[in-house]
Structure 1
Amino acid sequence: MAGRLTGKRAVVTAAGQGIGRAIAAAFLAEGAEVLATDLDAGKLDGLAGALPSSLDVRSDAAVAEFAGRAGRVDVLVNAAGFVHHGTILDCTDAEWELAFDLNVRSMHRTIRAFLPGMLERGNGSIVNIASAVGADATAPNRYVYGASKAAVVGLTKAVARDFIRSGVRANAICPGTIQSPSLDERIAALAEMNKTTVEAARQAFIDRQPMGRLGTTEEMGALAVYLASDESRFTTGQTHVADGGFTL
């Protein structure tokens, strides 16, 4: 069934690569008008049909200004985030601040900016990218990442509950390990840190997935289409885990 998002206008953050880009592409394929944003607007090249904008989701002023000129928004997808490696003993104050500012407070900023318009129209879908780590499971050396993604789940549920009778829904996607440019960077860094090969480091990520493979960004895009569409209009406040069985 094509055209599942026809007539909807969506904002997607971190649409330059990885899950955010796949969601933007999936939305476009289903007929949505997509305002694709990224800190580096150059990464948005190639998203044919999207309306690209540079956006720093860590800036209150930038988010407010963007929302002020965005017009009607029916769907908000918060995909910006960063994965820190290490335990509580490795986590610096700067890493803590970055993790919570980018992974959590950025969503606070965008939701606060776009929610009033959704409430005025009595309709809207908010999709936050959380993680299987911090939602239903933990993983070694993911201390501050897991903590911040657990906060995303709490934020999502709180927004869903507060506006449950106002026509606005909020749900979270909790991916397992997904093949993406950011994963490639983490694999390379891990290989260097452990003095092993990139291939061995990649296999370690694959081995922790019970299905025996990494997830794809396209699979996350398909789930986001469902949550953005009217097909899920009876669904709110939920964590949608797509992790290849990692949390079983």
Structure 2
Amino acid sequence: MTNRTAIVTGASHPKGIGRAIAICLARSGVNVVATDLQGSTGLDTIAAEIASHGVKGHAIACDVTSKQDIERVISETKLKFGAIDILVNNAGVGMGSANFLEVTDTDWNISLAVNLKGLADFCQAAIPEMLSQDNAGCIINIASLSGLGAIEDIPVCYTASKFAVIGLTKQLAVQYAKDGIRVNAICPGSIHTQMHETVLDMIANENNISIAEAQKLEDSNIPLGFTGKPDVVGDTVVYLASDSSRYMTGVALPVAGGMSPGL
């Protein structure tokens, strides 16, 4: 993994999966460009955290719904590191009511713009650069267990957007396999993040229970019996980005402690 360069979107929040992915890649010898929204918590410190592991780190403010921002990330990465070996599309939002009839146009528009279209636009910008390199590279899309099945109390706009991410992953895997670009998805289940805290609030409100009771209820549905930490996803990204997974593409891999994806 030494001397490879990765872009990780949505990577700055101290409690986020993206930050864990960036740090796990850095520990494996990968230079990391971390992106997140302007002013996001941790964006001013993530580059130094990455560099503390003996690699090069760089942070760029980027709104994945802006093609101009995406193009700037691609050009800065090429200028600073010379190549884009790994793209991890992690940026995402979870919003909307668990009651389908209460989901608004705003919920739909933002969910699809960030979770699907922003991811697709990043792929479309990065793939030409990967095709121009001797070692084409790989793309890892962070989907969700909700992209494999409908889970109770999860907003439909989130579920639909994550199903679409897996469909996009498989289509790109088919199209670019001949060019040596591998495209896989990771489907996290219950992971301790800031978004998970929002989901717990939603479950608690919908069921009129406490946050602790909501967590206990969620853990009861996980065969391993606990909610994972973000680095379990980061470790899986390292595996999918490495030569150890060189014969894998088009995979939607659950990282969920055995939790069922639902219907």
Alignment pair present for 1:60 and 2:59: no
Contact 1:15 / 1:37 at 8 angstroms: preserved in 2?
yes
Give the alignment partner of residue 96 of structure 1, picking from 84, 87, 108.
108
Q: Which moved more, 1:73-82 or 1:228-237?
A: 228-237
For 2:229 and 2:3, locate their aligned partners in 1 and report how far apart those are by CA, in whole Å: 27
**TM-fit CA distance, 1:111:** 0.5
The alignment's TM-score, normalised by the length of structure 1, stands at: 0.92
Q: Which runs of 5+ in 2 are unaligned?
A: 52-56
Contact 2:22 / 2:50 at 8 angstroms: preserved in 1?
no
Alignment pair present for 1:6 and 2:8: no
Helix, strand or coil for the counterpart of 1:128? Answer: strand
Helix, strand or coil for the counterpart of 1:165? Answer: helix
Percent identical pairs in the alignment equals 34
Which residue is 2:131 aligned to?
A: 119
Deviations 1:213-244 (A, max 9, x none): 11221111110001111221111111111111
Contact 1:15 / 1:21 at 8 angstroms: preserved in 2?
yes
**TM-fit CA distance, 1:42:** 4.3
Alignment pair present for 1:75 and 2:74: no
Helix, strand or coil for the counterpart of 1:121? Answer: coil
For 2:93 and 2:218, locate their aligned partners in 1 and report how far apart those are by CA, in whole Å: 17
The amino acid of 1:89's aligned partner reads: L
Helix, strand or coil for the counterpart of 2:179? Answer: coil
Q: Which moved more, 1:84-93 or 1:117-126?
A: 84-93
For 2:255 and 2:73, locate their aligned partners in 1 and report how far apart those are by CA, in whole Å: 31
Helix, strand or coil for the counterpart of 2:204? Answer: helix
Give the alignment partner of residue 141 of structure 1, picking from 136, 150, 153.
153
For 1:75 and 1:134, locate their aligned partners in 2 and report how far apart those are by CA, in whole Å: 22
Contact 2:187 / 2:252 at 8 angstroms: preserved in 1?
yes
Contact 1:26 / 1:225 at 8 angstroms: preserved in 2?
yes
Which residue is 1:32 aligned to?
A: 30
Contact 2:131 / 2:179 at 8 angstroms: preserved in 1?
yes
Helix, strand or coil for the counterpart of 1:35? Answer: strand
For 1:29 and 1:172, locate their aligned partners in 2 and report how far apart those are by CA, in whole Å: 21
**TM-fit CA distance, 1:20:** 0.7
